Structure formats: C-alpha cells, structure tokens
C-alpha cells in the first residue's frame, strides 16, 4: 500500500460520537443522573443546542449557514448508522477524491478534524525549529496553541498601510533558521487576497529557505481560486504546505473536516502528529459533498450576495471597508469595535469584537441573507451617537 495510514486509523479509529451522542449513551448509576439532568429528548428539541438560538443573527464566526449540502447530510445519516465501526479506509476514499481534484497523489493529503488540527500539528512540528514568521494580523489560533505549549514563538510583521500582508517585510525576516512562514490567503480578518504574482514569487523564494504554510481556508470563496492558490508551487516541488477546510464554503464547521496538501513526507509527519482521529460521520459527509458543484455554486452566490449588501451599506454610510473575497467583511465603523459589538448584540445581532489595537475595525460574517439584512439595517443607528 502506497501510504500507511490505514493501520493507525483502523486501530485507533474514528472519534465517532458527537457530544450530544455521548450524552445520550451514558450508562449506569452516574448515567441516570446525567440523563435526568440532560435528557436527550430535551437536547434534541433544543433549537439552540447547536447553532444560533432562534432570533439570533450569528455573524461572528465565518460559518456558512447554507450548509451542509443535502449530499453531505445523506452521508451524515449513513455515517451515523455505521457509527459502531471505526472509519478505516473511508479516509483513503476522501484522500483520493481530494488528490484527484488537485492532480496530486493521495499520500500527499493529510485529513484532520477541521483544518485547525492540521494547523496546530504544523505549528508543533515546525515551531521548535525556529520562529513562526507571520503577518501581524492573521488567523493565529493554532500558532498561539503551539506558543502556549512553549513550542513556538510568533514573529509578527505589521500589515502595510492598506492592511495587506507585507510580503517583502516577511521575506526580509526569513532565513534557514526560520521554523515556518505562515500565511493566510485570503487573510482573516481582512478578507484580502494577496497579489498573485508577488505572492507566488515571495513564497518560492522563502520556500527555498524554510517551510511555507499557506492557509487557504477561504480560497474557494475568492474570485479566482485556481490562479490564486499556491497549490501549483507545492506541486512544482517547493517546500509549501496548503491547508483547506470543509468548514467554510462547504458549510460543515460543526462536522469538523479539514486537510492539507503537501509532499508525501510532510503529509506523513502531519498525520502522525495530529492528535485525534477523524470521525466516520465527518469522512462520510465530506465524501458526499466534495464534488457537489451545484451546492458550492449556490453557497458562493449567497455569500457574494450578502457581501455586496454589506459593502453597499458601508459605502452608503461612508465607512471604509476592505474588498473582501471571503465570507466576512472587515470595516472601519468609526466607533470602538467592542461598543459596536455590544450595541448590535442588544438586537441579537452578533459580530466580532476588537482585534489587537485596530480599535474601530469590526468583522462581520456573511450569514443568511435575512440576517445580513438585519445587520445592514441596524448599522446606521449603531454607529451614530
Ligand atoms: C483562516 C482560517 N483557517 C483555519 C480555520 C479553522 O477552521 P476549521 O478548523 O474549522 O477547519 C479558520 C476558522 O475560522 C480560519 O479562519
């Protein structure tokens, strides 16, 4: 067999049960207390156990409420019915599908419990070798995870005055003793896609000195994903790792599937460093919808429609906003971001609070059109007074 992952996954198996499932499966005396406190029937009837409570416009977490696709849900049902069994070779089936789309070999794919797990593993693998050089503002959760464990130091490079990733500034810091360069393209929270030619030239040069990770969690939402992705650099043999997820355009944030594309050797190290085993339900769902272009096109059209509404609203109010190519928009409201967050929360509209010292910049995610409409209507009053 070309790559030896099935043994590990077959022996240790899938995560299997969801939190709700575990609550419903408790046995014995302790269990009856637990069930009394948390009966599964009540949990299932509780609209807000997972996802936003009724009436809440959840626009703070970059989810895609149009997902999961029906093709994923059918497989969730199937995966649940097969939940007694470890996931085994389903891993290979998904790896094959992903590899086929990108013109790589299945052993170049590492599938994880959300891309966050792969990104954490990567921070733990490369962090001890030297600093993680990254933009000042990026999705830093996983680098911070390794940093908290004493396994990484993040060397942040300020954004340019236009809030772009300063590729030249980052490159100037990179040497053979850099542990990792971490870029997020499109970036979070700015939503900006890097200039393709400049990005690829810089990544190539940096990858000659160290490993470059490009987190492309939102790339499918960009105007031209094929051209902007750095997958071609990895395929050409540069020391580049690409990370993708089913949490964004696929609308499966709660189902937890992500993956990396890299050299086979790097993929093997990521697989052996990742801490959990992807659930059979997650694999089944991802296999079900991976090539569901109808759903993907629909999701993207809804997200773009919502994005245009936010841009139009900001424009009409004279607010500066960044030309996002993602499912969120970063805009300068003119009032402290935490105040705006609190004001909108009073109307059950949830957006993100302040990032670092970007005091009056706020990030709003694209949820359902009607929820984004509520945000657009509430914004003028929220920023006045
Ligand atoms: C840029 C980026 N990368 C990765 C992730 C992690 O996503 P997940 O672990 O759900 O794949 C997020 C989550 O918001 C993100 O914004």
**Concatenated DSSP letters of 102-138:** HTS-GGGEEEESSHHHHHHHHHHHHGGGS-EEEESSS
Confidence check: pLDDT of 6 > 60: no
Q: Is 215 in the pocket of ligand 1 (CB under 6 A)?
A: yes
Q: Does domain 294-383 have CATH number 3.90.1150.10?
A: yes
With b for 16 or more beta-carbon neighbours within 10 A and e for fewer, the 229-249 pattern comes to bbbebbbeebbbbbbbbbbbb
What backbone torsions phi and psi does residue 245 show, to the nearest 5 degrees?
-145, 155
Q: Is 114 in the pocket of ligand 1 (CB under 6 A)?
A: yes
For 164, the token pair is 């772009």
Helix (H) or strand (E) holding 349: strand 349-350
**Pick the residue with more confidence: 31 or 174?**
174
Among 116, 183, 326, residue to substitute to test ligand 1 (most atoms within 8 Å of Cβ): 116
CA distances from 164 to 160, 204, 305 (A): 5, 19, 24
Rounded CA separation 315/336 (Å): 19
CA distances from 322 to 25, 228, 248, 332 (A): 47, 18, 19, 9
Which pTM was predicted? 0.90
Average pLDDT, whole number, for the chain?
A: 91
Rounded CA separation 187/189 (Å): 6
Sequence length of the chain is: 385
Beta bridge partners of 258: 112, 245
Pairing of strands 361-365, 328-332: antiparallel
pLDDT at 19 (0 to 100): 39
Q: Is 299 in the pocket of ligand 1 (CB under 6 A)?
A: no
pLDDT at 286 (0 to 100): 98
Please write the tens of the pLDDT for every residue from 54-107: 999 999 999 999 999 999 999 999 999 999 999 989 999 999 999 999 999 999
Rounded CA separation 305/320 (Å): 19
Half-sphere exposure (Cβ direction) of 116: Cα atoms closer than 13 Å: 14
**pLDDT > 70 fraction of the chain, expressed in percent and rounded:** 88
pLDDT at 44 (0 to 100): 64
Of 235, 260, 229, give the one whose Cα is nearest residue 142. Answer: 260
Please write the tens of the pLDDT for every residue from 305-358: 999 999 999 999 999 999 999 999 999 999 999 999 999 999 999 999 999 999
Region 114-124: mean pLDDT is: 98
CATH code of 77-289, in short, is: 3.40.640.10
Closest ligand 1 atom number to CA of residue 256: 10
With b for 16 or more beta-carbon neighbours within 10 A and e for fewer, the 299-336 pattern comes to bbebbeebbebbbebbeebebebbebbbbbbbbbbebe
Among 68, 115, 145, 215, residue to substitute to test ligand 1 (most atoms within 8 Å of Cβ): 115
Domain boundaries along the sequence of the chain: 77-289, 294-383
Please write the tens of the pLDDT for every residue from 205-259: 999 999 999 999 999 999 999 999 999 999 999 999 999 999 999 999 999 999 9
Cα angle vertex 196, ends 64, 141, to 5°? 45
Q: Edge-to-edge strands of the sheet including 240-245? A: 109-112, 258-261, 240-245, 211-215, 180-184, 132-135, 154-157
């Amino acid at each position: 067999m070309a790559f030896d992952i099935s043994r590990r996954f077959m022996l240790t198996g899938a995560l299997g049960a969801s939190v709700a499932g575990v609550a419903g499966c408790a046995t014995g005396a302790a269990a009856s207390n637990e069930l009394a406190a948390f009966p599964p029937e009540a949990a299932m009837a509780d609209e807000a156990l997972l996802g936003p409570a009724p009436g809440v416009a959840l626009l703070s977490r970059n989810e895609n409420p149009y997902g999961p696709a029906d093709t994923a849900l059918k497989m969730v049902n199937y995966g649940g019915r097969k939940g007694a069994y470890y996931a085994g070779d389903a891993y290979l089936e998904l790896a094959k599908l992903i590899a086929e789309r990108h013109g790589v070999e299945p052993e170049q794919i590492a599938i994880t419990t959300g891309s966050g797990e792969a990104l954490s593993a990567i921070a733990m693998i490369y962090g001890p070798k030297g600093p993680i050089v990254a933009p000042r503002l990026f999705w830093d959760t996983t680098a911070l995870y390794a940093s908290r464990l004493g396994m990484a130091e993040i060397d942040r490079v300020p954004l340019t005055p236009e809030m772009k990733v300063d590729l030249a500034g980052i490159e100037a810091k990179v040497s053979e003793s850099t542990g990792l360069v971490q870029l997020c393209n499109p970036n979070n929270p700015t939503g900006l896609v890097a200039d393709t030619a400049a990005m690829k030239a810089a990544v190539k040069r940096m990858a000659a000195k160290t490993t470059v990770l490009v987190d492309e969690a939102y790339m499918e939402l960009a105007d031209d994903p094929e051209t902007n992705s750095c997958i071609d650099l990895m395929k050409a043999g540069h020391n580049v790792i690409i990370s993708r997820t089913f949490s964004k355009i696929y609308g499966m944030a709660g189902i937890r599937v992500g993956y990396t594309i890299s050299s086979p050797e790097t993929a093997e190290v990521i697989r052996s460093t990742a801490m959990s085993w992807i659930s059979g339900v997650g694999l089944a769902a991802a296999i079900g919808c991976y090539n569901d272009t109808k759903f993907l096109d629909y999701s993207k059209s809804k997200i773009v429609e919502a994005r245009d509404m936010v841009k139009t609203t900001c424009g009409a109010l004279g607010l500066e906003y960044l030309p996002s190519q993602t499912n969120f928009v970063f805009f300068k409201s003119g009032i402290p971001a935490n105040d705006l967050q609190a004001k909108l929360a009073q109307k059950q509209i949830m957006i993100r609070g302040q990032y670092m010292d970007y005091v009056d910049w706020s990030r709003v995610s694209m949820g359902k059109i009607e929820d984004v409409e509520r945000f657009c209507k509430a914004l003028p009053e929220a920023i006045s007074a």
